[in-house]
Amino acid sequence: MFWIVTIQPTLATEDLPDHTPDVENGAYVFLAAGCSSCHAAPDAQGDDKLVLSGGRVLATPFGDFYVPNISPHPDRGIGKWTLAEFVTSMKHGVGRNGEYLYPAFPYTSYQRMTNEDIIDLRAYLDTLPPSANEVPPHKLPFPFNIRRGLGLWQLLYVDGKTLEPRPAMSPELNRGAYLVEGPSHCGECHSPRNVIGGIEASRAYSGGPAPEGDGKIPNITPDPETGIGDWSTGEIVELVTTGFTPEFDSVGGSMAAVVQNTAKLTPEDRSAIAAFLKSLPPVRSDGS
């Protein structure tokens, strides 16, 4: 029964839309998704951030995850992956050999992206420099090193469904929701998680311990006490544009890398992100 319920979902070429890849849009999705923040070498600067050689170590309570090489190198990267295999990894968290991917790769958010955006992203990735960097395997203790067990986890958190526009929301809010819940995957860091590593949906975006176990991630719901309830949409836009808070402080760490990407989004998209965050229900942080 375990084997049956954990059969890996895969997509075939005929499951994909008839879509001509748009490399320019793919470059934009690349920024929104912050791909270089994790997949470039840890010390990469300037154009080197476009060499997605991997190798960064994510030290988590579940073990050490080594970020993979996703450059178009045919052997060390994803150069030999078919388009269907790439979309499957993004929408279902399954690799080209049928293996479940660990959710340190935020496919629980990427699954909300449209197939067209994912196809465009792959087209852009194929234009980037190949890297022959060989990334070591993850270092995970039992039982987390048993990938098949992720099939049970994915039954709870992965359905592969694209985020659909919500009729009660304006076009701006729907665009903000798509960016925040999809490519920008804000909830992956800014939400608390349960004992099996799943996001606590009722407390989404309310902050919590950093995924890598070092420090805390802030509450970005409009809670007036522990969140950003007293921030205006303009101040949120300022943060994702320059990294400066209303208190004239500046973000650091991984958020500084995020801002380097969001600053390059269109003013309309930055405003949409701010508007959506302000529309969230306020959730009080629990202090953890």
The verdict on whether omega for the bond into residue 61 sits within 30 degrees of 0, i.e. cis, is no
Torsion angle, alpha carbons of 197, 66, 113, 73, to 10: -160
Q: Which two tokens stand for residue 248?
A: 């004239």
pLDDT digits (tens, 9 = 90+) for 50-95: 899 998 898 888 889 999 999 999 999 999 999 999 999 999 999 9
Q: Helix or strand or coil: residue 46?
A: helix
**pLDDT over threshold 60, residue 208:** yes
pLDDT digits (tens, 9 = 90+) for 36-55: 989 998 776 777 788 999 98
Q: Helix or strand or coil: residue 189?
A: helix
**pLDDT over threshold 90, residue 247:** no
* Strands 63-66 vs 208-209: parallel, antiparallel or unpaired: unpaired
Q: What is the pTM of this model?
A: 0.93
SS3 readout for 104-130: CCCHHHHCCCCHHHHHHHHHHHCCCCC
